[in-house]
Amino acid sequence: MKNRDHAHSEIRLERGDPTAGANDTGLSGWGGRLVKNCGTNVCSVSGSVRQFCFGPHGTNPDDHDNSDVVDGNDTRNMGLYEYETDISTNNWRWNTRGNISRALTSYYAAKAQEMSEDSPLRQIIQHEQSVRTFGRLVNQRLESVPVPQAINDLYNSSSDNELSRTSFGRQIRNVYDVMACEDLLQTNVISADYSGWDHHRYMMDSIEPQMEDIFGNGKGLHTLFDELRTNQAAKASRLSVLVYGEFGRQLAANGDYGTDHGVGNYAIMLGDRVNGGVYGDIFPTSEIAKFEESGADIVGLTSYEHIIARICEQLKTGRFHPEAVHHRIAKGASDGSSRGWLRNICRHLDNPMAE
């Protein structure tokens, strides 16, 4: 469905539902519904958890449940802070955070010993123990998984290869770590983002460094796949990346050397198991003729929920029905003649990690 409003379009994209309303911000996302169906977790590596990750609520269809979401926005600092420096060799007296950490660790450990099993506060103690244990397991795993220098350079201000958006470099680091901790996190879906694509003015000045960050030689995704193939080869072959946005831009430039909100867009899939190539026509003759026509749009031919459905099918081949993630598939919503090429592009994605 056509929509040029950022906020509303993002809700539809995160929900995986082009019929979603403008106020449906509290409903589940298609990633959350997918992992619920798979019995796994979704790991969010961006600064905030996107609606994409929200899981379905067990009893209230107008709400969501994030119990299957792992927040991995800083994978090198997961779990509870623990101050373990030898107090005899460190100026520990003036380390306020360290003092609080040691005090709380001791307090909860003592409470766990003296509190009765039927105490209503027992759940708080158990939660603290679970989070602390989880953090220790992840930290212990990552102690043997150093951050590759090439990935570190993506977000290091002293590097010659620092990205223009260093937060995306940190997300690349987070994805690398999540792959190393896949079994601990029990995840097969990762959520990342790169915002800031509303190029109404001087589009080339903004879009070129952003595209370079993501797709450039030696940059974000290239570095991620290179380092995974070098250090985590078995997992690298299972990672498939879907890149897409809430809407496209118009064909013709506006008076400020930018482009205004459009309708049609494209999606990009990357990975060793993707059957690569161009599916559809990037520059159809009918659109080239409209390049000088003010307000002209790209014509969308495939509604994105069908792309999502094919990916979901591959993540749980043989045991999964796409209507569990998107209801319109069950209703037989038409996607024209696209079903054949959608199955073709996804046919090698058996048991992948998805991002």
Task: From first to last of the 355 residues of the chain, give the pLDDT tens digit.
Answer: 567 788 998 999 999 888 899 999 999 999 999 999 899 999 999 999 999 999 999 999 999 999 999 999 999 998 888 876 656 656 667 778 888 888 999 999 999 999 998 999 999 999 999 999 999 999 999 999 999 999 999 999 999 999 999 999 999 999 999 999 999 999 999 999 998 888 888 888 988 999 999 999 999 999 999 999 999 999 898 899 999 888 888 888 888 988 888 888 888 999 988 888 888 888 888 888 888 888 888 888 888 888 888 888 877 654 444 455 554 444 444 444 444 444 444 444 444 455 5
Domain coordinates in residue numbering, the chain: 6-71+167-354, 92-143
Radius of gyration of the chain measured on its C-alpha atoms: 23
Question: How far is the CA of 220 from the CAs of 160, 163, 180, 193, 311, in angstroms?
Answer: 14, 8, 18, 12, 23
In terms of Cα–Cα distance, which of 3, 32, 30 is closest to 328? 30
Look at residue 2 in the predicted model and tell me its pLDDT: 67
pLDDT at 171: 98
- Three-class secondary structure of residue 217 per DSSP: coil
Q: Tell me the residue length of the chain.
A: 355
- Answer yes or no: are the C-beta atoms of 19 and 328 closer than 8 Å: yes
| Strand (E) or helix (H) holding 243 | strand 239-243
Three-state secondary-structure class, residue 261 = strand
Q: Which residues pair with 71 in a beta bridge?
A: 44
Query: For residue 172, which of 158, 198, 196, 153 has the smallest C-alpha distance?
Result: 153
pLDDT of residue 350: 42
